[in-house]
Every structure is written in C-alpha cells, then in structure tokens.
Amino acid sequence: MLKGRQTWIFESKPVIISSAAVVGPFEGKGALAEDFDVIHEDVWMGADTVERAEKRLLEEACNVAIEKAGMKKEDIQFFISGDLMNQIISSSFTARSLDMPFFGVFGACSSSMEGLALASLIVDSKAAQYVLAGASSHNIAVEKQFRYPTEYGAQKPPTAQWTVTGAGVGLIAQQGEGPKVTSATIGKVVDMGIGDPYNMGAAMAPAAADTIENHFKNLNIEPSYYDLIATGDLGRVGHELVIELLKKKGIEMPKDKFMDCGLMIYKDDQPVMAGGSGCGCSATVTYAHLLKRMKKGELKKILIIATGALLSPISYQQGETIPCIAHAVSIEM
Amino acid sequence: MLKGRQTWIFESKPVIISSAAVVGPFEGKGALAEDFDVIHEDVWMGADTVERAEKRLLEEACNVAIEKAGMKKEDIQFFISGDLMNQIISSSFTARSLDMPFFGVFGACSSSMEGLALASLIVDSKAAQYVLAGASSHNIAVEKQFRYPTEYGAQKPPTAQWTVTGAGVGLIAQQGEGPKVTSATIGKVVDMGIGDPYNMGAAMAPAAADTIENHFKNLNIEPSYYDLIATGDLGRVGHELVIELLKKKGIEMPKDKFMDCGLMIYKDDQPVMAGGSGCGCSATVTYAHLLKRMKKGELKKILIIATGALLSPISYQQGETIPCIAHAVSIEM
C-alpha cells in the first residue's frame, strides 16, 4: 500500500528467513567480526583479479544464505542485486552462476535497500514466494575504478571513506520465521552541489535527511518508533551533517539510537578515515549484525537508510556535482 | 500473479497512458522516423559532452511523455530507468532533474523491459498510481566506453551492431486509455561461451530463446497468440540464431510476425552492419513505433523481448565470456 508519494507498507509482512554476510580480512579484524558468516584471510579470495574476488564474495554470501534456509537455488524465483562495478558485473556474473531469473539494480551504495525494497514488494504482491536480495563491494576493485589503484598509495583527506570488502544477502519469503520487512521509503535524487568524491558523506547527507523526513511523515511516526535507525555509509562527516539537517526540519534524532553502518563496522583503531562505505557496508552490517541482534531480542524495530552517491568517474571528470539518493527499509520482529 | 517460476500476469492490466521517443539524426533518417516525437539534427544535442547529450535525450523523452499525458512531474510516484553508461549516469542525472523517487536498474539493453516489467508490477500491486519507465543509449558515448572512440575510425566485423542514439519512455498508470501491459517474463542469465563483443547478437540469442520458451510454456500459449513478437537488439546474426534455437526446442516462430527492433529501426541502405543495438533500440521502437501501430489498430497483441549483454570492458579484457539476459513484456489493446 502506498503512503504519501513514496512509502510502501507491506501488508503481508515479508519475512527475511535467512541472511548471510561474507567479508574480507580487514572487516574480519573489525568491530562486527563475530557476526559475519565467512571471513576471508586473503583479500583476493583466491581469485586472480579483484573483480573476480568481489564476485566470489557475493556468490558465497548467496550460497550460504540459501543453505542456511535449507533450500535449493531452484526453489527461489528471483535474484535482485547491485554493486559498484561498471555494468554491475559482480551481480550479473553471480546471477549467471545462480541460474535464477535476475533483476540488476543500481543505486550505488543504496543498492542494498533498493534491492530489499523491491524484493519485499515482489513477495508482498505474491509475484514470488522467495526472492534473494544482495549487494557487494570490494575495496581494491572500487578504489581502482573510482579513484586510484591502492598500490599507488595516494593520500586521502580525512573526509574520505574506506570501501568495505564484503557482500550481504537476504532471502525474503512470504512465510517463515525471522525479522519482517514492514515498510520502505524510496528516495528521490538530491544534489546540494558537492562535487568532491573524497567527501561522499557530506554529499549523501541531504538525500538521507530527505528520505528519513518523508518516511516519518508518510507513516505518521516519530524516530522513537524505532529501537535503532542506521544510515548506510555516511561516515563521521555525513552522520553529523544529517543530524543537523534533520534538526532544521524539526526532527530530533535520539543520539543513542541513530547510527551509521559505516561507523559500526570497523574498530576505532582501524585507519578508515571518516568511516566505511560501499554497497557491502550497509548490506553486511544489516544482514549479519543487525538481524542477529533482532533475533537475539535486543532490537525489535529498526530502520535502515542506505545512501548512494550516483556519480561516475566520467561525471566527476566533467565537473558534475554528485547526485545522491537514499532508500529506507524498516524491519520488525 | 506468478505463473511458473518467472512469469507475471498483471491482473489489473496497467495502462501505458503515454509514451515518447527522442532520437538522434541518424535514427531520424531511418525507417521509423515518422514515429519519433523529437529528432535531433545534432548528435551532440547542443551539449558539450556526449554523456550530457544522452542525458538530454532521456530528459526530453520523459518530459514529452509527461506533457502528452497532461500531467505534472509531481503527480508521478516513481521513475525507473537504466542505460549503458558506467553507473547509469544518464538515468541518475535525469532522475535528478525529474525530482521523482527513483529506481535505477541495469540489464544492459534489456533495461527497457526490466523497467517496464517492474513499473507494471508496482502499478498492478497498487504501490503507485503512476510510474515512468525509460531507457536510453547514445552511439558515440557507448562506442567510446565499450569499444573505441568513433573518431578513431576502427573497422568492425559484419557481426557488429550499431548503437542507437535515442531514449524511449512510457508512463504506466492504474487506469486510463492506451495499450495495456498484461504479462512479463523475467529472464535468467544465459552464457553459451561467446566472448566476442563484436558479436553480441549471437551471444544474446540463447537468452532470448530461453525467455521466449518460458513465456509460452508458463502462459500455455503459442506464438500465434501474438500479432507481433519482437526481440530487442539481436540484429541479423542473432535473429537467425534465435529462430534456429527455438526450432530445436520445438517452437516454430512465424516468419511474418517475428521481428527484431534492431532490424526495424534503420533503412536497408544505412551502414549499420548486423543492425541496431543499445538500450535505446527496443525502447524507442516499442514506445514510439509499436505502440503507435497498436493505437492505429494494426496490432492487438505484441510481445517485446529486450535482450542484454551483461559484459563490461573489464570483464571482456579479463577473458570472461558474455553473460546475457532477456526480459519479455506483453502489451495488448
């Protein structure tokens, strides 16, 4: 059911019956290491290119999620996935090995929740019994494509973020045990004129604020409705900014409940500048850490707002500012 | 309603209340020139880069479709779009100017029907009253990104195809006058081991055959159900191949009804090698030419199978073969 212009309420409450996250060695030394299903010791995952390494992460996360549900690939109708690689090759090549009908999505780092929102709509409208939704990123592959090869050792300003090496996947079903997807707010593109790809958090904060504001307004709820509200990968700079922006809109975010996946995934002593980022950031934190906390009973209602910076290297080189977007999905036990 | 593993029947029959196509000068000299809404005389569309030119095509097609429906942007809930540019910047930057909640999709040249299928599902499930679905491509922008800059004048083999400069857009509504979207079959990724980016038609034909076979099987219909069946951009090589592949599956495609958008858009004397291609190919042919023929009463039931080659320059350079996909949408008067 549509509420306002852009919020869906899923009346049948699709269930995340299974989920998985597979990460790299640096994330395995991070704050959420215990929650991940697989931690690779080798950032190449035994592959000969970093692009193939990212595909292995996503394939593995899909296979673990399917296995945990005690299901077979053939029982699942659709795979929805996105990533940051040109032509989303990590997702498309994973779809090839999964042999499932496939929807490729692209919303940069918001792809994780774009996929979950669409998967939930498909299940809610009985257009599938089971949909697998995923997203991934790989630090070396992303840095090489968007900025510089990491081997080059380019210096970065403190506003820069660290791309997460990881893939997160959820299996959404009409029925079953697990956290339920209750609503989603689809974001508009917001561009406040920031053109610096080393300050994505600041660029994405206005999009996050816009989606959060519309989510609360359309559902007529307050931030206190949720036990935890987490943006995707705003990092330190963007997180402070979105608090300020929401305050100006008259929305006071409770400090103990409002977090950012990019500020949760690493330890304080890891050199990640302003925090984590990448499609794999919100995907691994949500599908591993947050759902685990829900199942333990620590959290009953959460809202994830995955944020995406929709630039390309060429749009940046041509002097364009960065259009940003944020999609919010609420999950309840 | 789900039929088989991958076919949706849209029970409320969402209506394409308006559509538009905007093309470049070469397409304006083609076989379907009369059906396009806007033909640009300048392939740069007055922009200073070809990427910006493609964005103008898509923006213009959106604005014309909205205007034809007598609507305002604010009345439309969602924009779904995809294109071939890295990080689908044509779609994302168009979403920025449209200021609508946005779903970015990527299925290479199948993006046109991936978008229409999702838009129809959203409307059918009452998750929106109005959804705008579009796709675009620009010859120079695509050649530069995937192969060589056109200025380089690289020779191409006769199996190569010509990327269409054009954008096609449809406005899908719960009610109204116009052709209705009745069903969609979502494709699986099929890869038969072809790695030659100058022979996309052959690479994509098995994916088209797979989707066509499943569409007929799931709906329990024969090719004779439709007045016209058109693949997206298989071109001459792929078109002959898909006929052969379907024959082996026991499906005889009627020669006078089975076409390819890439073989329809240009005149025989235009030097396009094996035919047209690109997201803009099936999008402009469908949203301009085919819907116009339906409204004239020449066609009552059509099936469009948009085909996509999910490679990236880097996957090709790393020796990967080309994973392909095809999504079918049926439209009836």
pLDDT digits (tens, 9 = 90+) for A30-76: 999 999 999 999 999 999 999 999 999 999 999 999 999 999 999 99
ipTM of the complex as predicted: 0.97
Average pLDDT over residues A176-196: 96
pLDDT of residue B301: 98
Write down which residue in B148, B173, B198 finishes a domain: B173
Q: Establish if B198 touches chain A: CB-CB under 8 angstroms.
A: no
Write down which residue in B125, B152, B173 finishes a domain: B173
Q: Which residues of chain B are within 8 Å of residue A315 when distances are taken between CB atoms?
A: 51, 87, 89, 93
Measure the CA–CA gap between B125 and B166, rounded to whole angstroms. 30
> Is residue A253's pLDDT more than 90?
yes
Q: State whether A236 and A290 are in the same domain.
A: yes
Q: State whether A31 and A157 are in the same domain.
A: yes
> Is residue B43's pLDDT more than 90?
yes
Q: State whether A141 and A218 are in the same domain.
A: no
pLDDT of residue B153: 87
Q: How many other C-beta atoms are found inside a 10 Å radius of the C-beta of residue B36?
A: 26
When CB atoms are compared, the residue of B103, B114, B189 closest to A114 is B103
pLDDT of residue B11: 97
End-to-end CA distance of chain A: 20
Average pLDDT over residues A128-142: 97
A95:B323 CB<8 A: yes
How many CA atoms does the CB half-sphere of B223 hold within 13 Å? 21
Q: Which residue of B has its CA nearest to A126?
A: B1
Q: Establish if A253 touches chain B: CB-CB under 8 angstroms.
A: no
* Largest Cα–Cα separation, chain A: 51
The model carries a pTM of 0.98
When CB atoms are compared, the residue of A1, A5, A323 closest to B96 is A323
Average pLDDT over residues B121-129: 98
Residue that wins the pLDDT comparison between B157 and B326: B326
Strand partners, A103: A80
pLDDT digits (tens, 9 = 90+) for B95-111: 999 999 999 999 999 99
Local confidence band at B41 (pLDDT 50, 70, 90 cut-offs): very high
Domains held by chain B: number: 2
Measure the CA–CA gap between B22 and B4, rounded to whole angstroms. 36
Rounded to the nearest angstrom, the minimum Cα separation between A34 and chain B is 33
pLDDT digits (tens, 9 = 90+) for A204-242: 999 999 999 999 999 999 999 999 999 999 999 999 999
Measure the CA–CA gap between A303 and A289, rounded to whole angstroms. 14
Q: Is there a contact between A186 and A302 (Cβ–Cβ < 8 Å)?
A: no
Measure the CA–CA gap between B136 and B85, rounded to whole angstroms. 9
Q: Which residue of B has its CA nearest to A211?
A: B101
> Is residue A186's pLDDT more than 90?
yes
B89:A310 CB<8 A: yes
Q: Which domain holds residue B261?
A: 180-332
pLDDT digits (tens, 9 = 90+) for B185-240: 999 999 999 988 889 999 999 999 999 999 999 999 999 999 999 999 999 999 99
Local confidence band at B93 (pLDDT 50, 70, 90 cut-offs): very high
CA separation, residue A79 to residues A169, B18, B128, B188 (Å)? 10, 30, 23, 9
pLDDT of residue B140: 96
Q: State whether B149 and B240 are in the same domain.
A: no
Record the tokens describing residue A238, joined without a space. Answer: 């963007």
Q: State whether A295 and A317 are in the same domain.
A: yes
> Is residue A152's pLDDT more than 90?
no
Pick from A94, A97, A102 the residue to mutate for testing the B interface (most B CBs within 10 Å).
Answer: A102
Write down which residue in B139, B173, B207 finishes a domain: B173
Q: Which residue of A has its CA nearest to B77?
A: A5
When CB atoms are compared, the residue of B127, B318, B320 closest to A8 is B127
Q: State whether B31 and B71 are in the same domain.
A: yes
Q: Which residues of chain B are within 8 Å of residue A5 when distances are taken between CB atoms?
A: 77, 101
Burial A118-143 (b: 16+ CB within 10 A, else e): bbbbbbbbebbbbbbbbbbbbbbbbb
Helix, strand, coil content of chain B in percent (nearest 5): 40, 25, 35
How many CA atoms does the CB half-sphere of B242 hold within 13 Å? 34
**Which of A195-199, A289-293, B86-90 shows the lowest per-residue confidence on average (mean pLDDT)?**
A195-199
**Which CATH number is A145's domain given?**
3.40.47.40
Measure the CA–CA gap between A174 and A167, rounded to whole angstroms. 24
Mean confidence (pLDDT) of chain B:
97
Q: Percentage of residues in chain A with pLDDT exceeding 90? A: 95
How many CA atoms does the CB half-sphere of B101 hold within 13 Å? 29
pLDDT of residue B293: 98
Measure the CA–CA gap between A327 and B148, rounded to whole angstroms. 36
A92:B128 CB<8 A: no
Q: Which residue of B has its CA nearest to A49?
A: B318
Measure the CA–CA gap between B331 and B328, rounded to whole angstroms. 10
Q: State whether A157 and A17 are in the same domain.
A: yes
Q: Establish if A10 touches chain B: CB-CB under 8 angstroms.
A: no
> Is residue A131's pLDDT more than 90?
yes
Q: What is the 3-state secondary structure (H, E, C) of chain A?
A: CEECCCEEECCCCCEEEEEEEEECHHHHCCCCHHHCCEECCCCCCCCCCHHHHHHHHHHHHHHHHHHHCCCCHHHCCEEEEEECCHHHHHHHHHHHHHCCEEEEECECECHHHHHHHHHHHHHHCCCCCEEEEEEEECHHHHHHHHCCCHHHCCCCCCCCCEECCEEEEEEEECCCCCCEEEEEECCECECCCCCCCCCHHHHHHHHHHHHHHHHHHHHCCCHHHCCEEEECCCHHHHHHHHHHHHHHCCCCCCCCCEEEHHHHCCCCCCCCCCCEECHHHHHHHHHHHHHHHHHCCCCCEEEEEEEEECCCHHHHHCCCCCCEEEEEEEEEC
Task: Determine the residue type at A105.
Answer: V
Pick from A62, A106, A142 the residue to mutate for testing the B interface (most B CBs within 10 Å).
Answer: A106
Q: State whether A118 and A60 are in the same domain.
A: yes
pLDDT digits (tens, 9 = 90+) for A153-180: 888 899 999 999 999 999 999 999 999 9
Q: Where are the alpha helices (DSSP H) in chain B?
A: 25-28, 50-68, 89-98, 111-124, 139-146, 200-219, 235-248, 261-264, 279-284, 291-295, 313-317
pLDDT of residue B261: 98
Q: State whether A211 and A240 are in the same domain.
A: yes
B89:A312 CB<8 A: yes
Q: State whether B230 and B143 are in the same domain.
A: no
Q: Establish if B312 touches chain A: CB-CB under 8 angstroms.
A: yes
pLDDT digits (tens, 9 = 90+) for A256-286: 999 999 999 999 999 999 999 999 999 999 9
At B130 the three-state DSSP class reads strand
pLDDT of residue B14: 98
Rounded to the nearest angstrom, the minimum Cα separation between B173 and chain A is 14
Q: State whether B119 and B217 are in the same domain.
A: no
When CB atoms are compared, the residue of A2, A93, A103 closest to B77 is A2
Q: Which residues of chain B are within 8 Å of residue A78 when distances are taken between CB atoms?
A: 6, 186
Q: State whether B168 and B186 are in the same domain.
A: no
Rounded to the nearest angstrom, the minimum Cα separation between A15 and chain B is 18
DSSP code of B75? G
Mean confidence (pLDDT) of chain A:
97
